[in-house]
Each structure stands twice: as C-alpha cells, then as structure tokens.
Amino acid sequence: MEKRLKTLLFLLVSGWVVGCHPHSTNNNHSMMNNNAATNNATSSSSAAAVPANPMDDKGIGPVKSVELGPIQPELVKKGEQLFNEQCTACHRIDSRYIGPALKGVTKRQSPEWIMNMILNPDVMIQQDPIAKQLVSESNGAVMANLHLSEDQARALLEYFRSIDDTISSK
C-alpha cells in the first residue's frame, strides 16, 4: 500500500515536472488529452460494470444455475478438506491473506459466481466486473486456476455455505 502510494506520488511529481518543462507546451496538451481519454474509459467501463445487486452477477464460466437445498454435511466435509489442501496457500476463512477472507462470501456473491470463480478464474478476472475489482483490492495478486471439477467446486461452495450459516445463527 505504502509502496503504491510512493509510486503514485512519483508519477504525479514526474508528470508535474514534464508539464512545467519550457519546451513542452504541446506535450502538455496531449498529456491533458490523454488524461481525459483515460478518465472517460475508466468511467464508462465502471458504469457498465458492477451490478447494483452483486447477487445478479452469475459470473462467467460453466456454471449457469445452482440448486441450493438444505446444507449437505457430506459435501461440507469434502469441501473443507479440499479447501485445506488447495486454497489455504492464499486464503483464510476469517482474515484477508493473499486473497480475500472467505467468511461471508456466500452473502456477497451468488452461488454461480463463486463456482465460476473457482472453475474459471482466468476469464473471470479479465472480464467479470466484481472479480476485476477484487484483483485491484488484492494488490494485483490473482486467483489461481486449480483445474477442479464442477463437483469439487460445488463441495467448496457447500463448505462456504456451512460457515456462513453458522455465523448467521450465532
């Protein structure tokens, strides 16, 4: 964070120096135009981006709809095991690590989105507005594609559901 701030400051200062260079009147103009273009691009892409209700975002990937019933303990157990084997390199349940804390994820994102994020992270972080935002919140670290099956992703979803239900019933 502090590093990014320093980089930003550096860019601002060096931009200022270029802008004040006596021979750079034209450059200065084109710089301003560039800035305007960048701002437009940013605002139009974010306008088309994150849906008002994140639960409306099903993500991009193989999972189009998930039927959720009562929590299935067998599936939870399978999901927990997978989580401990494959995900703890980057995730904790209760706190941010390389990636976001996963507590509460089923309240933030739709079940389809969660499974698509697990199964198809490469495309999600390029194209899905919520996933793109998470990348910037993770200082550019990206979610790994662990090439899991749909059944494994479903078990992980069940594990996250079980955690979030525990919390809400406390």
* For ligand HEC, the closer CB: 117 or 163: 117
Which residues in this chain contact ligand HEC in the complex, by CB under 6 A?
86-87, 89-91, 98-100, 102, 105, 108-109, 114, 117-118, 125, 131, 134-135, 138, 141-144, 146, 148, 156
Q: What tokens appear for 35 in the block? A: 């800035």
Minimum CB separation from ligand HEC for residue 5, in Å? 20
Minimum CB separation from ligand HEC for residue 151, in Å? 13
Phi first, then psi: give them for residue 112, nearest 5 degrees: -65, -45
Whole-angstrom distance, CA of residue 128 vs CA of residue 117: 9
Q: What tokens appear for 94 in the block? A: 């209760």
Minimum CB separation from ligand HEC for residue 87, in Å? 3
* For ligand HEC, the closer CB: 91 or 154: 91
Q: What tokens appear for 57 in the block? A: 């975002």
Minimum CB separation from ligand HEC for residue 83, in Å? 6
* For ligand HEC, the closer CB: 26 or 53: 53
Residue length, the chain?
A: 170
Q: How many CB atoms lie within 10 A of CB 80?
A: 18
Whole-angstrom distance, CA of residue 119 vs CA of residue 71: 21
Whole-angstrom distance, CA of residue 158 vs CA of residue 81: 12
* For ligand HEC, the closer CB: 31 or 135: 135
